[in-house]
Amino acid sequence: MHTTHIEQQLTILLRRVQRIHFTTSSGEIELDRSAYGILCRLVDEGPQRLGSLAQAFGLDPSTITRQVQALEHEDLVERRPDPKDRRASLLDLTVPGRQVLTETRARRREWLQAALGDWDDADHEEFGRLLEKFNLSIDKVVQECELHGAVAQPAAATDAGAVSAAGA
């Protein structure tokens, strides 16, 4: 399998996505990637405990705590008692948090519409399907790495007979 071209295109994509991130932030409040991810997860998956967020993002709880504290400081998220366990708290978006996320998502979708404007519907569907498949494959590799304590190399690549990274 030749992945050189794909790796090069992904590198270009990541640089460009980082660059457009700043142009799609919401007015007064600029969401960094971690803030955007946390807000999206809370809207898409509902209120969650800190530990659940840390696990979902594969981060140490102390890291998520710092990120959430910054969002609380900006009045984008709030803690409230967990109805299942009053000793614990759930994180949820505030009204301003929902507004900032809604505006940011709208700007990002506008950007995507502009970037994909000359693609036909079949290309949109195929790109979406392949991107979803790619994301699921990445999730699988990350899970294998975590399971085997690997950092950068998927477990399958360490099996006997597997193609080396240099030969890919």
Secondary structure (H, E, C), 66-131: HHHHHHHHCCCEEEEEECCEEEEEEEEECHHHHHHHHHHHHHHHHHHHHHCCCCCHHHHHHHHHHH
* pLDDT lower than 70: segments of the chain: 1, 21-29, 150-168
* Residue at 94 is within a domain: yes
Residue-number span of the structural domain to which 142 is assigned: 119-148
Judge if 77 and 124 occupy the same domain.
Answer: no
Report the share of the chain in percent with pLDDT over 90. 55
CB 36 within 8 A of CB 104: yes
Residue 142 covered by a domain: yes
Closest CA to 33 of 8, 57, 62, 55: 57
The domain that holds 101 is classified in CATH as: 1.10.10.10
Tens digits of per-residue pLDDT, 75-124?
Answer: 999 999 999 988 899 999 999 999 999 988 988 888 889 999 999 999 99
Q: What whole-number distance in Å separates Cα of residue 113 and Cα of residue 42?
A: 25
